[in-house]
A and B are shown apart, each in its own frame.
Chain A
Amino acid sequence: MTNQRLFNAFVFILMCFLISETFAQSKKATISGFVYDSSNGEAMIGVNVYIKNAGIGGSTNNSGYFVINSAPIGKQTLQFSSVGYKTISVDVDVSADQHKQLRVELSPKSVNINEVTISSDKEKLADKLFAKPASKIEMSGSQVNAIPKVIEADLLRALQTMPGITAISDFSSELYVRGGTPDQNLYLIDGADVYNPDHAFGIFSTFNTNAIKKVEVSKGGFGAEYGGRLSSVLDVTNLDGNRNKFEGIFNLSLLSGSTTLQIPIGSIGSISGSFRRTYIDQTYAKWSKDIPDYYFYDGNLKGFFDLSEQDKLSLSFFKSSDNLKYKQDKDAPQSFGFFYDWGNTTGSLNWKHIFNQNIFSSFWVTGSSFSSNFKFDKILNLSEKNELSDYSFKGLIEYYATNELTFKLGAEHKVLRFLYDEEWEQGRVDIEQKDHLTTAYLNAGWSPTILWDFEAGARLNYFKADISSTNIEPRLAIKYRLSETSSIKFASGIYHQYLDRVPRLFFSSIWCSADKYIKPSNSYHYILSYQKQLGDLLQLEVETYYKDYKNLYSYNQNLNAMVTPGYFDASGNPVYNNTKGIFTRGDGNSLGFEVLLRKDVGAITGWVSYSLARTKNTYDGINQGNEYAPRHDRASVVNFILNSDINDLFSGNWNGEPTPKSSKWLLGLNFIYASGQPITAPASAYQVSTVPDGNDNTIPGENIPGYKLYPGSIDSYRLPAYSRMDLSITYEKDYGSWTLSPYLQIFNIGARKNIWFIQYQSEFKNNSIIQTVKKVNMLPILPSIGVTVKF
């Protein structure tokens, strides 16, 4: 029986089981339902639900749904609690075999609540720490916005302040997670994959922070419900929309204007929409010949509909676009110039259905596409088209067998298409790949006592291109409570990736899939974590990890010499139609240690973290096959984030609730220190001409032959350390129905000249070729202003 038939049989048996379970008679009393935020009607994730005096409970899932099986019969009191919200109690009266369905709303804490609330937050904090998987980071949109920024609030730049996540430079928002490269991260917006999520040549990401409801990042060891990438998952859920009232935000910065609006649709649902566009092309570019015509925009639209008590539907749409028109000399009749545009479009349809109180399901149809187009203007006949599409159908069934045992069963089918087309006068690249990736997974979560939590699962992948590959990915996570406030966790798993990327400086990456020339990649994760609540509101997390990679693919820098045409067209011009020679194959590993001390509650919030890491790669034919540190390896990184009301900060109100007032000054500080990046520097020169009769690279006026530079050991030299501090000051004025917040941001307030890269200049002096270094620095001190209006 072929792999495809095995998979089909598995799905069929699974569906039969689920349908029978739907109609099965339950002899237990069950309480289930949804929990919402009373201020905006958004479903709440991770809310603790607890039956007083019964010792049983649970928490809401990603859709705000909870189930408590085996509830005691009679009058019961359920307690609902979440950090930052008022705890409420709901009385119910259940009889045997009854299924009670609830709709609960929690209110955000009022600023007038006293220390009693802080104490209850303390208890919830310990539970929240234990519930969180190892290596997971959660952030809200408001937390992202509070971090000092480079002109614009940016999700990926905010994540670069977390331990284990590094940046390659100030000009890049890409994430390097625990020694992995950005293509090893899975980006999801409302369930749809996103590729190349960047604006402005990588400086900003395409995620509009005002549209974000929640961000969950798993730096490693993630469960069976995620796959297809080697390193991490970034799962973004956008706002469903305020179901109670019209709400909006308008923001104007030096770079762009943006707005987010949320509108209820009667009692059945809501809509939220965001739009952002830069305006440099309409202002600065019209006044200055040196600034090219460039702009970007992005927009989100999401609708949420309550079809019935058992059915909920959401539709989500996202589009981003960057457009550049460049001309070297605007006055010259035939000046060098080019056009370049790129962007993403994603859409998802999500249907949530409750088969019965124990079976919650979620189904998605998603589509994602990326495209870029590049064309030289007149002088050179060269153009490029780069397209990618990803259409998926996914299903997830959550079966709450008992209060201690939960199963997740899922399946996904993905259709991928990659197209890269480049044309020049005497040749062409025409590579098109069409692939299918089919996945089934099973995950079991078991909490036999309040001290232990086990999760075990497996993913079965079937990848079909011009090759086929079947892989099994076991996953395991174990948690143990050492005390009321501390726990240890272990996570491990095998991960496969069937995509690779050609990264390019300033230009969008080109994606391709595994095929007969490129094998699927895989990685192994091992993570050990210790977490403790310190005092009332501090969270301490200490983690160590080891990752091992096989079949990594790095862009072949000598591709132009090694690539061979697949065939010749009618004119005798070469056509390159396969991926042979594009990449160099290698293996690698990463080892690291991270410490995070975090405070999310109170008048002062923020975190301080330290990470110590080492990553080594070995690539065929590079560095004589010896291992070396990749460019993104950073031995030590320190991060410090602080957000506070200035009055509370200097009055000593560090742990209490923010002091209520109609206007306030808010302070944000961000500090980062990172070890220097490894580079390959030239070590020697030699006098061999490029061509037999040539004498190139000569030094004008000097009587010596031309010379060339030869590199030293790969990535063996370290640039100086990187350090930066940012500051933001916001004045927030509350006018009752609306709020005005002008702000000042200063990026790199110390004006440190962090080195981005170095270039070399040769000078023949005193009978020697003296190599002088020209430093190209990253961003200088960069103040920016803006204003935000909330209504």
Chain B
Amino acid sequence: MKTLKIFIIIILPFLFLNCGDPNVDLNSVTYEPKIAVEGYIYANQTVANIKIMRNYRLGSDVNLNKLYLTPEDNSTSVTINGTALQFDPLTKTYYNNSILVEPGKTYTLEVSAVIDGKKLQTESVTTVPQKGFSILSEHVLGTLKYNQEPIVITYTPSAGTEIYLFSILARDASVSSFIYTNPYVTNIDSVDVRKNINDYKMQYQAVSEINSNTTSTYTLKIDAFRIWFYGSYRIAVYAGDINFKNYFFTSNNVEEDDGNFHEPIQVLKGDGIGVFASAIKDTIVFNIIK
């Protein structure tokens, strides 16, 4: 009996420690303010729509009026190759109509701002791909039957291009135009479609491993499972530089299979996150019917 008591006294604390449902408190995760840049410049266009924003702590107030960094509120200064950009209070973006982006040229973005009383700086360099990329205009796609006619885009490459990004937008996306008879996802209803409509509406396909230093033409067949709606489609094709590629491939892939996070490839130095990249852009449209 004495031995049994000793045994129980020894084992009880272990049993006590072995129970429970531990909590996770993320309030102790360290937050650092950063300058968030969304800056794309395109060959043969002026500098426009450069967004300079801030990040914010998870769980804090998302005040859209305070999201964008302005010269007035944050002492924000934005230059490209030393030339200052102007701020448009209507669109809350920075621009400069006197800077015409040229293929093959290098551009340096420098930003400084004050966030939460802290002075931050960041910079990034992008080199625009060489002249050459375009979608071949004789291959206008027109109207195509769903899952019976392939969607093939023919294009010429540009030297200095690291990625060809095909941004596929269903312009008539809605719960009623969704293709419920698709062969890939069964048992889907309008509630599921409404909940995830943006994921179905906007699809991307990227090519990054072709030899851009040739005069050959390339074709890309759009994957059949990227078409989810009947109606009008617009594909914008970007021949992007290394920053474009690095940001596209890594910015959304910071969470690993086991929930752990890692850093994306840093396109901006210093206190910046986001993207400053350049591209040559072209567009094609078509319709999908039954």
- Select A671's contact among B2, B14, B247, beta carbons within 8 Å: B14
Residue from B18, B37, B186 with most neighbouring chain A CB atoms (10 Å)? B18
- Select A752's contact among B18, B40, B264, beta carbons within 8 Å: B18
Say whether B258 contacts A682, CB under 8 Å: no
Say whether A649 contacts B3, CB under 8 Å: yes
Q: Taking the complex as formed, is A101 at the interface, i.e. its CB lies under 8 A from any CB of chain B?
A: no
Q: Taking the complex as formed, is A53 at the interface, i.e. its CB lies under 8 A from any CB of chain B?
A: no
Q: Taking the complex as formed, is A55 at the interface, i.e. its CB lies under 8 A from any CB of chain B?
A: no
Q: Taking the complex as formed, is B141 at the interface, i.e. its CB lies under 8 A from any CB of chain A?
A: no
Say whether A710 contacts B254, CB under 8 Å: yes
Q: Taking the complex as formed, is B17 at the interface, i.e. its CB lies under 8 A from any CB of chain A?
A: yes
**Interface segment out of the listed B52-60, B76-84, B106-114:** B52-60
Say whether A767 contacts B62, CB under 8 Å: yes
Docked Cα-Cα span, A622 to B254, in Å, equals 13
Q: Taking the complex as formed, is B290 at the interface, i.e. its CB lies under 8 A from any CB of chain A?
A: no
B226 smallest CB distance to A (angstroms): 13
- Select B11's contact among A669, A698, A764, beta carbons within 8 Å: A669
Chain B residue nearest to A563 in the complex (CB):
B209
In A145-174, the 8 Å CB interface with B consists of none
Say whether B38 contacts A688, CB under 8 Å: yes
Q: Taking the complex as formed, is B286 at the interface, i.e. its CB lies under 8 A from any CB of chain A?
A: no
Q: Taking the complex as formed, is A735 at the interface, i.e. its CB lies under 8 A from any CB of chain B?
A: no
Indicate with 1 or 0, residue by residue over B18-39, a CB within 8 angstroms of chain A CB atoms: 1111111010111110101110
- Specify which chain A residues have a CB less than 8 angstroms from the CB of B165 in the assembled complex: 691
In A671-717, the 8 Å CB interface with B consists of 671, 673, 679-698, 700, 704, 706, 708-714, 716-717
**Interface segment out of the listed A250-258, A541-549, A743-751:** A743-751
- Specify which chain A residues have a CB less than 8 angstroms from the CB of B255 in the assembled complex: 682, 709, 760
Q: Taking the complex as formed, is B9 at the interface, i.e. its CB lies under 8 A from any CB of chain A?
A: no
- Specify which chain A residues have a CB less than 8 angstroms from the CB of B204 in the assembled complex: 690-691, 694
Q: Taking the complex as formed, is A565 at the interface, i.e. its CB lies under 8 A from any CB of chain B?
A: yes
Q: Taking the complex as formed, is A286 at the interface, i.e. its CB lies under 8 A from any CB of chain B?
A: no
Say whether A711 contacts B254, CB under 8 Å: yes
Q: Taking the complex as formed, is B89 at the interface, i.e. its CB lies under 8 A from any CB of chain A?
A: no
Say whether B246 contacts A561, CB under 8 Å: yes
Q: Taking the complex as formed, is B44 at the interface, i.e. its CB lies under 8 A from any CB of chain A?
A: no
A717/B67 contact (C-beta < 8 A), A557-B262, A690-B204, A769-B58 known:
no
Q: Taking the complex as formed, is B256 at the interface, i.e. its CB lies under 8 A from any CB of chain A?
A: yes
- Specify which chain A residues have a CB less than 8 angstroms from the CB of B198 in the assembled complex: 695-696, 698, 700, 706
Indicate with 1 or 0, residue by residue over B35-49, a CB within 8 angstroms of chain A CB atoms: 011101000000000
- Specify which chain A residues have a CB less than 8 angstroms from the CB of B199 in the assembled complex: 696
Chain A residue nearest to B266 in the complex (CB):
A621
Docked Cα-Cα span, A720 to B24, in Å, equals 7
Say whether B7 contacts A649, CB under 8 Å: yes
Residue from A683, A706, A719 with most neighbouring chain B CB atoms (10 Å)? A683
- Specify which chain B residues have a CB less than 8 angstroms from the CB of A725 in the assembled complex: 14-15, 17-18
Say whether B24 contacts A724, CB under 8 Å: no
Q: Taking the complex as formed, is B169 at the interface, i.e. its CB lies under 8 A from any CB of chain A?
A: yes
Chain B residue nearest to A725 in the complex (CB):
B18
- Specify which chain B residues have a CB less than 8 angstroms from the CB of A753 in the assembled complex: 20-22
Q: Taking the complex as formed, is A226 at the interface, i.e. its CB lies under 8 A from any CB of chain B?
A: no
- Select A710's contact among B34, B61, B169, B184, beta carbons within 8 Å: B34
Chain A residue nearest to B210 in the complex (CB):
A572
Docked Cα-Cα span, A723 to B186, in Å, equals 42
In A558-573, the 8 Å CB interface with B consists of 558, 560-562, 564-565, 568, 572-573
Q: Taking the complex as formed, is A4 at the interface, i.e. its CB lies under 8 A from any CB of chain B?
A: no
A-B CB contacts (within 8 Å), total count:
246
Say whether B265 contacts A558, CB under 8 Å: yes
Which range holds the interface residue count of chain B? 35 or more
Say whether A505 contacts B3, CB under 8 Å: no
- Select B262's contact among A332, A680, A764, beta carbons within 8 Å: A680
Say whether A719 contacts B62, CB under 8 Å: no
**Interface segment out of the listed A66-74, A84-92, A122-130, A771-779:** A771-779
Say whether A712 contacts B30, CB under 8 Å: yes
Say whether B274 contacts A688, CB under 8 Å: yes
In A285-342, the 8 Å CB interface with B consists of 329, 332-334, 336
- Specify which chain B residues have a CB less than 8 angstroms from the CB of A560 in the assembled complex: 249-250, 253
- Select B3's contact among A650, A682, A695, beta carbons within 8 Å: A650
A465 smallest CB distance to B (angstroms): 26
B99 smallest CB distance to A (angstroms): 17
Q: Taking the complex as formed, is B159 at the interface, i.e. its CB lies under 8 A from any CB of chain A?
A: no
Q: Taking the complex as formed, is A770 at the interface, i.e. its CB lies under 8 A from any CB of chain B?
A: yes
Chain B residue nearest to A333 in the complex (CB):
B183
Say whether B18 contacts A685, CB under 8 Å: no
- Specify which chain B residues have a CB less than 8 angstroms from the CB of A717 in the assembled complex: 26, 28-29
B155 smallest CB distance to A (angstroms): 13
Docked Cα-Cα span, A712 to B21, in Å, equals 25
Q: Taking the complex as formed, is B259 at the interface, i.e. its CB lies under 8 A from any CB of chain A?
A: yes
Q: Taking the complex as formed, is A757 at the interface, i.e. its CB lies under 8 A from any CB of chain B?
A: yes
Say whether A688 contacts B275, CB under 8 Å: yes
Say whether B24 contacts A775, CB under 8 Å: yes
Main SS of chain B's interface residues?
A: mixed
B16 smallest CB distance to A (angstroms): 8
Q: Taking the complex as formed, is A768 at the interface, i.e. its CB lies under 8 A from any CB of chain B?
A: yes
Chain B residue nearest to A777 in the complex (CB):
B21
Chain A residue nearest to B1 in the complex (CB):
A650
Q: Taking the complex as formed, is B195 at the interface, i.e. its CB lies under 8 A from any CB of chain A?
A: yes
In B206-264, the 8 Å CB interface with A consists of 207, 209-211, 216, 218, 225, 236, 238, 245-264
- Specify which chain B residues have a CB less than 8 angstroms from the CB of A622 in the assembled complex: 262-263
B61 smallest CB distance to A (angstroms): 5
Docked Cα-Cα span, A696 to B24, in Å, equals 28
- Select A686's contact among B20, B34, B257, beta carbons within 8 Å: B34
Docked Cα-Cα span, A764 to B62, in Å, equals 9
- Specify which chain A residues have a CB less than 8 angstroms from the CB of B210 in the assembled complex: 568, 572, 574
- Select A691's contact among B21, B248, B265, beta carbons within 8 Å: B248
- Specify which chain A residues have a CB less than 8 angstroms from the CB of B216 in the assembled complex: 572
A681/B186 contact (C-beta < 8 A), A694-B202, A700-B194, A768-B59 known:
no
Docked Cα-Cα span, A574 to B163, in Å, equals 13
Chain B residue nearest to A568 in the complex (CB):
B211
- Specify which chain B residues have a CB less than 8 angstroms from the CB of A692 in the assembled complex: 40, 167, 236, 238, 279, 281
Say whether B62 contacts A721, CB under 8 Å: no
B206 smallest CB distance to A (angstroms): 10
Say whether B58 contacts A684, CB under 8 Å: yes
Docked Cα-Cα span, A720 to B198, in Å, equals 36
Q: Taking the complex as formed, is B125 at the interface, i.e. its CB lies under 8 A from any CB of chain A?
A: no
Say whether A650 contacts B7, CB under 8 Å: yes
A679/B59 contact (C-beta < 8 A), A669-B11, A700-B198, A712-B31 known:
no
Docked Cα-Cα span, A379 to B185, in Å, equals 12
- Specify which chain B residues have a CB less than 8 angstroms from the CB of A561 in the assembled complex: 245-246, 248-250, 265
Q: Taking the complex as formed, is B273 at the interface, i.e. its CB lies under 8 A from any CB of chain A?
A: yes
Say whether A723 contacts B59, CB under 8 Å: no
Docked Cα-Cα span, A367 to B273, in Å, equals 50
In A230-253, the 8 Å CB interface with B consists of none
- Specify which chain A residues have a CB less than 8 angstroms from the CB of B245 in the assembled complex: 561
Docked Cα-Cα span, A754 to B18, in Å, equals 9
- Specify which chain B residues have a CB less than 8 angstroms from the CB of A681 in the assembled complex: 26, 29, 261
Q: Taking the complex as formed, is A427 at the interface, i.e. its CB lies under 8 A from any CB of chain B?
A: yes
Chain A residue nearest to B16 in the complex (CB):
A750
A751/B254 contact (C-beta < 8 A), A650-B7, A717-B29 known:
no
Residues of B in contact with A (beta carbons under 8 Å apart): 2-4, 7, 11, 14-15, 17-24, 26, 28-32, 34, 36-38, 40, 51, 53-64, 67, 165, 167, 169, 183-184, 186, 194-199, 202, 204, 207, 209-211, 216, 218, 225, 236, 238, 245-265, 273-275, 279, 281
A-B contact pairs, 9 of them (CB 8 A): A334-B183, A680-B261, A692-B40, A709-B58, A711-B263, A712-B31, A719-B24, A753-B22, A770-B58
Known: A686-B53, A692-B236, A769-B58. 13 other contacts (CB 8 A): A558-B264, A568-B211, A572-B211, A622-B263, A683-B29, A688-B275, A690-B247, A691-B165, A712-B29, A712-B30, A754-B22, A757-B259, A775-B24
Q: Which 5 A-B pairs have the closest CB atoms?
A: A750-B18, A574-B209, A720-B22, A711-B261, A561-B249
